[in-house]
Structure 1
C-alpha cells in the first residue's frame, strides 16, 4: 500500500493492519450495510504481478490453467497456477492493462509466485515485476454501485451475469465488472483520493472482509497460504467460473486436471455454507461428517463473519458427505455447517 494512500485512508478513520483495511470504525454495521446498501472498499490486500516482453503471452499460456488467448483489453479472466500434480498454488484474475499482463492475487502470495514463475522464464523474453504499488484499487458494490461507476465510466453499464470480468476503460479508471452490482476500479494514485471522495457520499467505506463476503456469496474462491497445494482447480469450481480451459495446450498439472475432468473422478466440490459459532473460523480448517466419523471430509477455503452472526464460508467437501448431511466444523459433533446455494450450478 502506497504511503500517501495509507495516510489518506487513515484520515478517513481506517484501521489498517498488515497492509489491509480491517474496518472504518464499526465492522458490524459495515457488514450489515454490505447486504443492504452500497460499500466502498480498498483492495490493497490484493497484489499485482506484471508480465511484459515479446514472449509474455506465450509464456503465460504455457503456465496457467486458463486460456490466455481469451484475455483482451476489454475482458479479464479467472485462472490458476498449479504444481505438476495439478494442485493450485494460487488463483487470480488475469487482465491486460495498458499493454501489460497483470495477475491479481493475494498480496502475501505475490513474492513466492513471482519467484516460481521466474524459474521457468529461461531464455524467453519475459520480465516479471511486482506492480502492486503502481496502482490503487478500490471496490464498490451494492444497489448504487452501477450508477456510481457509470458516472465516471462515461457510459451506461448494461451488464448481466454473462458480463463477468468485462473491463471498461475511462479517463480516470480501468473498471472491472465482477458482477452487475460489484465493480473494481484500477486507478493511478493521483486520481485515487478524488474518486474515493466522489463515491464516499453515496457508498459506505468498509473493510476488506466486506468485499470477501461478496466474493464468497458469488462463489469466487481465493487460495491463501493456508490452502496452497490442497485442491485441484475443479475442486474450487474454477472450471465453472471460467478459470480452466480443457482445449488449450499443456501447462503444469494439465494432465491430471484433464484426466480428472474427462474420467469423471472429481469427488470433492466447493460449496457455500454457514457456521453458527462465536469462535474464529479460518482458511484451512477441517470439516467432518457423521458418515466419516474421525476422518476429515473437507476443508474451509475462505471464511468471513456473517451478516447474521457466525461465519459464511466456502468449503471443499466430499460430495458423498454433502449428500449424506450432518457436516461439522473442526471436529466431529462440532458446530454444524448449513449448506447454502451458490449462484451457479454444480455438476
Structure 2
C-alpha cells in the first residue's frame, strides 16, 4: 500500500525532528475547583483528563466561536493548557469572569515552561475513522510527553520547566510536517472567527457531545445536529510561493475557501484551508491563479453508523 503522504514525509525517513514551539504558551490552573470551572467552559470532557490522558479542545464564546483551541495536560495537582502564546492572557481574562465562583487560580505561565514538538515516521497504514478524545501521556525526568497522533507521522509534545536542558533540537525544520495531523491550534488573529466544526473538531476528539453544558454549547450542538454549513478544514500542497492572503477559487471564479495556516516544507507549501463547499463540488482548486493539489485528511469526516 502506498500512503498518500509518502512524497511529503520522505524527508523524515530515518530521522527524528525536535523543535521548540516558541509560539505555544501555558495557562496554568490550580485549586480544588479547577476541573469544575473548566467543565463549564471547554468543548472536551475534563473528567477524562488524568495524569496519563491529555485532551484536545477549545474554549468558545457564547456565540460558539473559538476563543482558543488547546491541548491540556495534568501535571501533579496543576492543569496546564497549551495554546497560542498570544492567547494565554486573553483566555485568562475570559475565564476569570467565571472563576470568581470557584476555588481556583489562573496563572499566565508563559515564562515558566518550554514546549517542544517531536516527530518521527511510523508504519501505520490504516487511516483512523476519527481521533481519540484522550491523548496518552508519560512522565519521565521531569518531562511531560503527550502523544498527539500516530498517522501519518508520530507526533509528541514535550513539556518541561526552564531548568531542564536535556531536550536537544534536531532537524527542527521538519517539525512543520506535524501540520499533516490537521488538528490545529488557532492564533490570536483567528480568535472568535471560526466554529469548532469548521476545524473538524467533531472528528478529532475536540468536542464531547455527552458532557453537558458549557459556554457556546448550544451553538456547537445545533451546528452538529441541525446545521447546514459545509465548512470544513482540508489539506492542500503546492510547489513554489503563492499569495496565501488570496481567497481559494474554483474554475468558475467562485470563492470556495481561505487559507487557515501554511507551512514551508523543503520549498513546497503545505496548507490547511477552510473550505466553504463540499470538496466533491469542484475538480479544481485555484489559489493565486494556480491549481493546487488536495491531500486526503488523516481521518474520516463521515460519521460511522
Q: Secondary structure at the match of 2:301?
A: coil
2-structure distance, mates of 1:162, 1:54 = 27
Q: Which deviations, in whole Å up to 9, do the C-alpha atoms of 1:308-327 show, x marking residues without a partner?
A: x3311111102335531222
Q: Which deviations, in whole Å up to 9, do the C-alpha atoms of 1:188-229 show, x marking residues without a partner?
A: 3222x2332xxx6xxx2414xx42x23321111121123222
Q: Secondary structure at the match of 2:189?
A: coil
Q: Which deviations, in whole Å up to 9, do the C-alpha atoms of 1:279-313 show, x marking residues without a partner?
A: 4536xx5322235x35x321211111133x33111
Assess if the C-alpha contact under 8 Å between 1:164 and 1:179 holds in 2: no
**Structure 2 residue corresponding to 1:194, chosen from 147, 166, 188:** 166
Residue in structure 2 matched with residue 274 of structure 1 by the alignment: 237
Assess if the C-alpha contact under 8 Å between 1:275 and 1:329 holds in 2: no
Assess if the C-alpha contact under 8 Å between 1:137 and 1:187 holds in 2: yes
Q: Which deviations, in whole Å up to 9, do the C-alpha atoms of 1:5-56 show, x marking residues without a partner?
A: xxxxxxxxxxxxxxxxxxxxxxxxxx98446622121123200001111221
Unaligned runs of 5+ in 1: 1-30, 145-160
Unaligned runs of 5+ in 2: 1-8, 123-130
Residue in structure 2 matched with residue 217 of structure 1 by the alignment: 180
Residue in structure 1 matched with residue 210 of structure 2 by the alignment: 247
The number of residues matched between the two structures is: 283
1-structure distance, mates of 2:14, 2:241 = 23
Residue in structure 1 matched with residue 139 of structure 2 by the alignment: 169
Q: Secondary structure at the match of 1:252?
A: coil
Moved more, 59-68 or 267-276: 267-276
Assess if the C-alpha contact under 8 Å between 1:88 and 1:229 holds in 2: yes
Residue in structure 2 matched with residue 206 of structure 1 by the alignment: 172
More helix by share: 1
**Structure 1 residue corresponding to 2:257, chosen from 295, 298, 303:** 298
1-structure distance, mates of 2:178, 2:301 = 17
2-structure distance, mates of 1:67, 1:297 = 33
Residue in structure 1 matched with residue 128 of structure 2 by the alignment: none
Q: How does 1:32-51 map to 2 (within 5 A)?
A: 33-34=11-12, 37-51=15-29
Moved more, 94-103 or 171-180: 171-180
Deviation of 1:272 after TM superposition, in Å, equals 0.5
Whether 1:98 and 2:68 are equivalent positions in the alignment is no
Q: Secondary structure at the match of 2:32?
A: coil
Assess if the C-alpha contact under 8 Å between 2:48 and 2:134 holds in 1: no
Q: TM-score, normalised by structure 1?
A: 0.74
* CA gap 1:83/1:162 in 2 versus in 1, 3 angstroms: closer
Q: TM-score, normalised by structure 2?
A: 0.84
Residue in structure 1 matched with residue 5 of structure 2 by the alignment: none
**Structure 2 residue corresponding to 1:133, chosen from 111, 118, 134:** 111
Q: Secondary structure at the match of 1:311?
A: strand
Root mean square deviation of aligned Cα:
2.4
2-structure distance, mates of 1:34, 1:286 = 31
* CA gap 1:320/1:163 in 2 versus in 1, 3 angstroms: closer
Moved more, 135-144 or 227-236: 135-144
1-structure distance, mates of 2:13, 2:262 = 16
Q: Which deviations, in whole Å up to 9, do the C-alpha atoms of 1:88-137 show, x marking residues without a partner?
A: 12100011111111110011111111111112222321211012222222
Residue in structure 2 matched with residue 156 of structure 1 by the alignment: none
Assess if the C-alpha contact under 8 Å between 1:276 and 1:336 holds in 2: no
Residue in structure 1 matched with residue 149 of structure 2 by the alignment: 179
Whether 1:340 and 2:291 are equivalent positions in the alignment is no
**Structure 2 residue corresponding to 1:75, chosen from 53, 56, 66:** 53
1-structure distance, mates of 2:279, 2:132 = 32
